[in-house]
Amino acid sequence: MNDLLKNTLLIAIHEGAHILKHYFEGSFEIRSKDTLNNLVTEVDKKAEDAIIEVIRSEFPAHFILSEEAGELSTASNYKWIIDPIDGTVNFAHGIPICCISIGLELDGVIIMGAVFNPFMNELFFAEKGKGAFLNNKPLKVSMNDQLESACLVTGFPYKWATVEADPISVFERFIRKGLPVRRLGSAAIDLCWVAAGRFDGFWEYNLNPWDIAAGYLIIEEAGGRISNFKGEPYSVYDKETLATNGNIHEQMLAVIANLPV
């Protein structure tokens, strides 16, 4: 069963990637969703349709949660969590830091996930208990245990009113320590790059399950740690995300909470 699930996931993500590559830097419709700069394109929908068609062809009874289609609810214990383009703003502006993210949940546990950036030809994959991989090579988080020498990445929500804390204040606390903090515009890629050891830590507010379902598992299987901002066990339905190599996790939690490090 797991082989068929994995094969279906990989076929689906490549089908979506084919559509992204076809339209990239071309002409397509762009519109705003709930805020001016929270964009969706016709390519999001085309890629989503192609991904869902592949999944439905093998598993017509499975639950699907996708960014544009919403919940395609069934009684199945399996749930596919799909972001057809993570980093839509980047895609719409011809910036090749964007990807497709697909996670597979069974009875509330993420058991498989893939993130594919076809423009960099980077396919990240993880299966629960079997490790994380980049283009079939094993992934491992960085070994850095000093926050002061860390390289971090973050993102900012489009809807500030829904965030209780002030993300800019947290960002300021990190950069006042002289830390390099990047903002790529794709949470799924951020998570994968922590898993690959390129970044030591990532934090962000107000993410959605489709942004992080695959990256969550990839982080854990690469030996990292992911939690909410209280350090509690993580759910992809949380609205606070901290993912690190594990070694600097407590130090980052302290900065976020404005406590001494």
How buried is residue 151: exposed, middle or buried, by Cβ count under 10 Å (0-12/13-18/19+)? middle
- Give the pLDDT confidence score for residue 71 in this predicted structure: 84
- Give the pLDDT confidence score for residue 106 in this predicted structure: 98
- For residue 163, is pLDDT > 80? no
User: Mean pLDDT across the stretch 21-44?
Assistant: 78
Q: Which among 121, 138, 155 is the end of a domain? A: 138
In a domain, 86, yes or no: yes
The alpha-helical segments, DSSP class H, found in 93-182 are: 167-175
Together in a domain, 163 and 110? no
Query: What does the alpha-carbon distance between residue 88 and residue 44 come to, in Å, rounded to a whole number?
Result: 8
Q: Which among 110, 138, 166 is the end of a domain? A: 138
Read off the CATH number of the domain in which 218 is found.
3.40.190.80
- For residue 75, is pLDDT > 90? no
Query: What does the alpha-carbon distance between residue 65 and residue 55 come to, in Å, rounded to a whole number?
Result: 12
Residue with the larger pLDDT of the pair 164 and 217: 217
Range of the domain at 15: 2-138
pLDDT in tens, 197-254: 999 999 999 999 999 999 999 999 999 999 999 999 999 999 999 999 999 999 999 9
pLDDT in tens, 43-72: 989 999 999 999 999 999 999 999 888 888
In a domain, 126, yes or no: yes
- Give the pLDDT confidence score for residue 190 in this predicted structure: 98
Query: What does the alpha-carbon distance between residue 207 and residue 163 come to, in Å, rounded to a whole number?
Result: 11
Together in a domain, 119 and 90? yes
Together in a domain, 60 and 116? yes
Work out the pLDDT band at 34, boundaries 50, 70, 90.
Answer: low
In a domain, 261, yes or no: no
Together in a domain, 113 and 152? no
Together in a domain, 189 and 231? yes
Together in a domain, 83 and 37? yes
In a domain, 42, yes or no: yes
Together in a domain, 82 and 119? yes
Number of domains in the chain: 2
Together in a domain, 103 and 194? no
Model-level pTM?
0.94
- Indicate the length of the chain as a whole number: 261
Q: What percent of the chain has pLDDT over 70?
A: 95
In a domain, 220, yes or no: yes
Together in a domain, 92 and 8? yes
- For residue 120, is pLDDT > 80? yes
The radius of gyration of the chain's CA atoms, rounded to the nearest angstrom, is 18
In a domain, 218, yes or no: yes
Query: What does the alpha-carbon distance between residue 108 and residue 196 come to, in Å, rounded to a whole number?
Result: 26
- For residue 196, is pLDDT > 80? yes
Half-sphere exposure of 41 (CA within 13 A, CB side): 24
Helix (H, G, I), strand (E, B) or coil at 140: coil
In a domain, 72, yes or no: yes
Together in a domain, 8 and 109? yes
Q: What percent of the chain has pLDDT over 90?
A: 81
Work out the pLDDT band at 40, boundaries 50, 70, 90.
Answer: confident
Most confident of 26-40, 148-162, 183-197: 183-197
Read off the CATH number of the domain in which 29 is found.
3.30.540.10
- For residue 2, is pLDDT > 60? yes
pLDDT in tens, 102-112: 999 999 999 99
Contact status, residue 14 vs residue 21, Cβ threshold 8 Å = no
- Give the pLDDT confidence score for residue 160 in this predicted structure: 64
- Give the pLDDT confidence score for residue 36 in this predicted structure: 59
Output the six-digit token pair for 58. Answer: 């093998």
User: Mean pLDDT across the stretch 14-39?
Assistant: 81
How buried is residue 136: exposed, middle or buried, by Cβ count under 10 Å (0-12/13-18/19+)? exposed
In a domain, 248, yes or no: yes
- CA 81 from centre of chain: 11
Q: Which among 72, 107, 138 is the end of a domain? A: 138
Together in a domain, 26 and 68? yes
Which of 19-23, 160-164, 226-230, 242-246 shows the lowest mean pLDDT across its residues?
Answer: 160-164
Task: Kindly report the backbone phi and psi dihedral angles of residue 217, in degrees, each rounded to the nearest multiple of 5, phi listed first.
Answer: -70, -40
List the one residue out of 48, 219, 35 whose CA is nearest residue 142: 219
Together in a domain, 9 and 132? yes
Query: What does the alpha-carbon distance between residue 116 and residue 121 come to, in Å, rounded to a whole number?
Result: 7
